[in-house]
């Protein structure tokens, strides 16, 4: 099926429409891998439901003839508070995989957080990027390989490393398992290719069962974060925080930022929606470091609500992959355009002219 061109993409009104269109274009196996969550999809569904429960409390008669969505994170100016979250295996959605995604990030002026489980090397992505990439890191079972990977992405110009900390073992991804997910022939894990057949230690796996990933280090602890902090000269964030005490400890360990995330509902099912976990973490952090959020963002109004509850910015994952499947780089740009426009509309209707003005004052208590 051919990708949609600019004219057809311009007629797509919402991000949800991109998912509907992508489902018709993707294989069943690919769609279930991308769209599915863990267990009974309770957290996956709750990520959206929680946003929908939040009510806004707008102010009137404010001059909103000029609306500014720019912000600064780690000394770099961003045109809007939306980043592209790490998502694995873009080849499932487009034949050019992450290379096409990088083009979409360029068109949309968005910063991409490159995934460890990519089909293209970080170096190849960075070569075509218009702005420095961030990189999502799993602490590997092989710590020396972890260090080598860190050194590689830093050498390629990575600006920030986001350590995913919420998947020490595999979760029960029922939909993915039912669909019999596997990478198509010829598609590789580019960044992790050197691991070969490295597996988690057999000593950790009861006979006949496997809860361990071939690459994630189930023995990772805060000591590994301390070690990473000692070898990472660029910005270091922890991704997968839901507990305020963990956010506070991340600051104490010298982390530069925290990402409130439940892995898009793909890790431990029945944990809270990220937008519900956000306020207590924001209160504990107290604005000392950037606080980002992912999980369930589908509209610009969701971005507004996240910022009102204390987030510095948000990340989107599935939405831009659906855009990639439907329209390639142009599809990604259209997804981001929709969210940016809706955010600006929400700000104007709520009576805000700058991101710094968005606060809990605009939430109906």
Q: Which residues are identified as catalytic?
A: 263
The DSSP element (H or E) to which 161 belongs, if any, is strand 160-164
Instruction: Please tell me the total number of residues recorded for the chain in this structure.
Output: 365
Q: What is the largest CA-CA distance in the chain?
A: 67
Question: In 3D, which of 97, 157, 148 has the Cα closest to residue 127?
Answer: 157
Helices within 157-273 (DSSP H only): 174-178, 222-231, 244-252
How far is residue 255's CA from residue 290's CA, in Å, rounded to a whole number?
10
Tokens of 280: 């207590």
Q: List the strands of the sheet with 291-294, edge to edge.
A: 82-84, 313-316, 291-294, 257-260, 235-241, 160-164, 134-137, 113-114
Task: State the Cα torsion 4-13-34-147 to the nearest 10°.
Answer: 90
The alpha carbons of the chain give a radius of gyration, in whole angstroms, of 20
How far is residue 245's CA from residue 261's CA, in Å, rounded to a whole number?
15
Angle between helices 143-155 and 222-231 in degrees, nearest 10: 40
- The pairing of strands 160-164 and 235-241 is parallel
Question: In 3D, which of 257, 352, 260, 250 has the Cα closest to residue 301?
Answer: 352
The DSSP element (H or E) to which 73 belongs, if any, is strand 71-73
Which residue reads 């992959």 in tokens?
321
Question: In 3D, which of 124, 156, 152, 129 has the Cα closest to residue 140?
Answer: 152
């Amino acid at each position: 099926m051919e990708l949609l061109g600019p004219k057809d993409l311009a007629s797509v009104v919402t991000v949800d429409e991109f998912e509907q269109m992508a489902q018709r274009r993707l294989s069943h196996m690919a769609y279930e891998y991308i769209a599915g969550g863990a267990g009974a999809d309770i957290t996956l569904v709750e990520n959206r439901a929680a946003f929908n429960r939040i009510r806004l409390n707008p102010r009137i008669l404010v001059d909103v003839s000029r609306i500014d969505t720019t912000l600064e994170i780690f000394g770099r100016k961003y045109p809007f508070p939306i980043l592209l979250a790490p998502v694995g295996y873009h080849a499932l959605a487009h034949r050019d995989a992450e290379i096409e995604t990088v083009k979409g990030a360029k068109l949309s002026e968005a910063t991409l957080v490159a995934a460890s489980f990519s089909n293209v090397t970080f170096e190849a992505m960075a070569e075509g990027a218009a702005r420095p990439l961030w990189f999502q890191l799993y602490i590997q079972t092989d710590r020396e390989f972890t260090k080598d990977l860190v050194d590689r992405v830093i050498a390629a110009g990575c600006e920030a490393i986001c350590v995913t900390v919420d998947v020490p073992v595999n979760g029960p991804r029922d939909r993915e398992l039912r669909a019999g997910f596997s990478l198509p022939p010829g598609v590789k894990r580019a960044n992790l290719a050197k691991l070969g057949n490295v597996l988690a230690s057999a000593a950790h796996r009861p006979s006949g069962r496997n809860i361990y990933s071939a690459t994630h280090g189930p023995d990772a602890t805060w000591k590994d974060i301390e070690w990473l902090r000692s070898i990472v000269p660029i910005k270091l964030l922890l991704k997968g925080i839901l507990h305020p005490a963990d956010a506070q400890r991340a600051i104490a360990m010298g982390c530069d930022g925290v990402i409130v995330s439940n892995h898009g509902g793909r890790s431990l099912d029945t944990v809270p929606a990220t937008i519900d976990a956000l306020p207590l973490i924001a209160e504990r952090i107290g604005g000392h470091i950037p606080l980002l959020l992912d999980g369930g963002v589908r509209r610009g109004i969701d971005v507004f609500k996240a910022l009102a509850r204390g987030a510095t910015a948000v990340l989107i994952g599935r939405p831009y992959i659906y855009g990639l499947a439907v329209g390639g780089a142009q599809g990604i740009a259209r997804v981001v355009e929709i969210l940016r426009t809706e955010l600006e509309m929400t700000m104007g209707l709520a009576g805000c002219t700058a991101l710094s003005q968005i606060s809990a004052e605009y939430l109906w208590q």
